Structure 1
């Protein structure tokens, strides 16, 4: 991709951001892609880790294809397939109501995506409607799972044994939310959820 990515700094917003832009590939075709950027000065960089996870998950149904990862200027850059709206966007567009048929069709695909990630020995740790996106074009009825920055290996690849829980060495500096609290408690193992 090289020179095509040299002027991306003008679309930078948040420490990690994702934007849809049009790039010219090596054979001069116009392609629309999603570009996720992270400052090389980020306090807790996660884009390199996320790019490695995408590589491990490549080929799975509902996993976006990664086109390129590298550093350009002051940013880590992850280029992947452009996808459509998130489930959150669709839900809002539908006045926050889905039919029973739609819910069942989405649930079937969501479970399939999560199962695939688990079969690869990882847990996502950030499951929410914003991280499920619909495909576009010939994949418009296919659901994709994105944003693996918080994912964690939970099983040893060789032994298939669960990796014991341990406290993180560094803080991710995430906002204290009920969902985050639940995730942290779930990560410790079986809990009485009435106490959370």
Structure 2
């Protein structure tokens, strides 16, 4: 199934001149990875502060976009500028999961939100990324299949944050969360099925 992840090559081409400049200045892939984590933790913590509601939610789509760029940059620095490392591989996977949790969990505090649906989304997102990584252990490639991969989740939560910041509210938000949870279940299934199919092929 299609995913926003599919447009990543075009996005990388736009970033490549800047990545080359960063490499020339001695910036490492791991530094970029940790910067993306720090940004997510900072914004996630700010979302918990009642005095900044709901305007602080305008920061979420900007953070998602910047994180997407930073994630692409760290990968390009690693692959194209000889910065791949075992530590980088660990940081890349763990920081993404922690960053997502930090940015998504505060949505559970919205007045009309169902706490357990948001918690379920965070757990399912972690499982979906684990399914992608486990594929490597069985001899397949790292799976990024949709329909609700990392980039897709960032887009949905970014759009939702814009709505929250603009003052939208209502029980409809839980229908959106339920749909996200269902799509994450499909994503987990797709990643497992395609990993197995790749190994058998």
Mark yes or no: TM-score above 0.5: no
Higher RCO (CA-CA < 8 Å; seq separation 6+): 2
Instruction: Choose between structure 1 and 2: higher helix proportion.
Output: 2
Instruction: Choose between structure 1 and 2: higher strand proportion.
Output: 1
Task: Give the structure-2-normalised TM-score.
Answer: 0.26
